[in-house]
Homo-oligomer: A and B are copies of this chain.
């Protein structure tokens, strides 16, 4: 297998050798997908190449500030009038992720696969894959560095956007020294980091906000203020139109209260079953706590299922947490 440096050079050569590229990313594009599409477009425009940027659907409104974001054609509105023989796929772990845009690939199209997902299955003619990159935008940073081109705030903003969104605002475990080093360089080029953070990182769906609100309404604390908990019933889920993924992050609210050592979310599954999610502010090992109830996890984030009605589950869990505190 060739090295990352070899792949960079091979990709560079591919971009120099041909013309009239189609640049696509995955369906329901996120920050990294949009940024990476635009970064390739920006590079091709610098090289004086013809290119078309395409996605199966629309670009999220919040990303419209990006350089030429409006030129990423929404296939359902502005489908291309022809097919392409040279395609660049960014941030797609497998070929199917490009969605219906593949209708515009020639049957024998040469495809470049640029991606950071460890699960990437290696489709395409040229592969530029770096599984330990925080974002595909990080790989594009490296690729663009191969060329003798003048960087401006537009391209810096695009790449920063990919890094910012895929690292959850420089908070996830993929926030490597290299990510911060690149961010530093991009800020020097005039990126408005604070504005991007505000625009990109704080979006919620309406059901997410509704179920958060419902949960907070029922917030409870011990008299000592060291344990805080919220609960959510199946009826709450229906009322708010919420799915399980909308509950992500809610348990942090009780945990984040000043003075609280353990925050808990009780999710009622049915009359006789409750899922408890535990978060610790540091003092309590909630993995050990969860184990008491047959669950598990990490020292600061763990969970367990209790085959009990909600009120009994709450009593039992509180008793155990108090014992530890």
Contacts A183-B180, A282-B65 given: A193-B171 contact, CB under 8 Å? Answer: yes
Which of B61, B181, B219, B259 is within 8 Å of A184, CB to CB?
B181
- Residue of chain B at shortest CB distance from A215: B213
Residue A204 CB within 8 A of the other chain: yes
User: Which of A20-28, A107-115, A194-202 participates in binding chain B?
Assistant: A194-202
Chain A 137-185 residues near chain B, CB threshold 8 A: 169-173, 175-181, 183-185
Q: Are A258 and B203 neighbours in the complex by a CB distance under 8 Å?
A: yes
Contacts A61-B281, A169-B169, A257-B209 given: A184-B177 contact, CB under 8 Å? Answer: yes
Q: Are A175 and B193 neighbours in the complex by a CB distance under 8 Å?
A: yes
Q: Are B171 and A197 neighbours in the complex by a CB distance under 8 Å?
A: yes
Residue A2 CB within 8 A of the other chain: no
Q: What separation, in Å, do the CA atoms of A91 and B253 have in the docked complex?
A: 29
**Which residues on the B side are within 8 Å of A187 (C-beta)?**
175-177, 180
Residue A217 CB within 8 A of the other chain: yes
Residue A270 CB within 8 A of the other chain: no
Which of B185, B217, B261, B283 is within 8 Å of A217, CB to CB?
B217
Residue A243 CB within 8 A of the other chain: no
Q: What separation, in Å, do the CA atoms of A36 and B195 have in the docked complex?
A: 28
Q: Are A202 and B169 neighbours in the complex by a CB distance under 8 Å?
A: no
Q: Are B65 and A202 neighbours in the complex by a CB distance under 8 Å?
A: no
Q: Are A170 and B193 neighbours in the complex by a CB distance under 8 Å?
A: yes
**Which residues on the B side are within 8 Å of A179 (C-beta)?**
184
Residue A3 CB within 8 A of the other chain: no
**Which residues on the B side are within 8 Å of A259 (C-beta)?**
61, 206
Q: What separation, in Å, do the CA atoms of A83 and B170 have in the docked complex?
A: 43
Contacts A181-B184, A187-B180 given: A175-B194 contact, CB under 8 Å? Answer: yes
Which of B169, B206, B216 is within 8 Å of A258, CB to CB?
B206
Kindly provide the distance from the CB of A59 to the nearest chain B CB, expressed in whole angstroms: 13
Residue A212 CB within 8 A of the other chain: yes
A residues near B, CB below 8 A?
61-62, 64-65, 169-173, 175-181, 183-185, 187-188, 193-195, 197-199, 202-206, 209-210, 212-213, 216-217, 219, 221, 225, 252-253, 255-259, 261, 281-283, 300
Q: Are B64 and A282 neighbours in the complex by a CB distance under 8 Å?
A: yes
Q: Are B256 and A202 neighbours in the complex by a CB distance under 8 Å?
A: yes
Q: What separation, in Å, do the CA atoms of A172 and B170 have in the docked complex?
A: 13
Q: What separation, in Å, do the CA atoms of A199 and B263 have in the docked complex?
A: 13
**Which residues on the B side are within 8 Å of A206 (C-beta)?**
221, 225, 257-259
**Which residues on the B side are within 8 Å of A255 (C-beta)?**
202
- Residue of chain B at shortest CB distance from A204: B256
Contacts A169-B171, A170-B169, A171-B193 given: A216-B219 contact, CB under 8 Å? Answer: no
Q: Are B205 and A258 neighbours in the complex by a CB distance under 8 Å?
A: yes
Q: What separation, in Å, do the CA atoms of A184 and B206 have in the docked complex?
A: 36
**Which residues on the B side are within 8 Å of A198 (C-beta)?**
171, 252, 300
**Which residues on the B side are within 8 Å of A282 (C-beta)?**
61-62, 64-65, 199
